[in-house]
Amino acid sequence: MSKSAPTISVLTANRLSDGAVVFLDFDGVWVESLRGAVVARTPDETRALESRGAFDAARNVIVEPYLVEMHESADGSLTPVRFRERVRLGGPSILDDVPGYVETPKPAPRAEPVHAEAA
């Protein structure tokens, strides 16, 4: 018996206007949240998503649409299988030159106690 769940996918791309990572939702709108993304569970649904991605790419709404394989938990939440996609979902990993980004202050590191060695 296989330990892996059936393969499911969502369609992702980058929005052409600002480069944001987006997902196709049930209304055919490209949104930044994975919540509400259309999930393809069959080959026919997969082909339909790919066709929609090609259509929107041809209209210059998004660039480079592709399917992302997902794990689905018992509560229905989705997690990308590949680490690369989890990073894309989390947002930019280098934020210094992202316009409008304001970093929240981090707590100061705790000083480690210095242990004097016995002489």
pLDDT digit string, tens, across residues 74-111 = 888 888 888 888 888 876 666 566 666 665 555 554 54
* Residue 40 included in any domain: yes
* Residue 57 included in any domain: yes
* Residue 116 included in any domain: no
Specify the pLDDT at position 60: 96
* Residue 31 included in any domain: yes
| Mean pLDDT estimate for the chain | 81
- pLDDT tens digits, 7-56: 799 999 999 998 889 999 999 999 998 888 999 999 999 999 999 999 99
Range of the domain at 52: 10-90
How many domains, the chain? 1
* Residue 79 included in any domain: yes
* Residue 106 included in any domain: no
Residue-wise DSSP of 30-98: EES-STTB--B-SHHHHHHHHHHHHHHHHTTSEEEEEEEEEEE-TTS-EEESSHHHHHHHH--S--TTS
Q: Which two tokens stand for residue 28?
A: 């055919």
* Residue 38 included in any domain: yes
Question: To the nearest whole percent, how much of the chain has pLDDT over 90?
Answer: 47
Nearest by Cα to 72 from 48, 20, 37, 46: 37
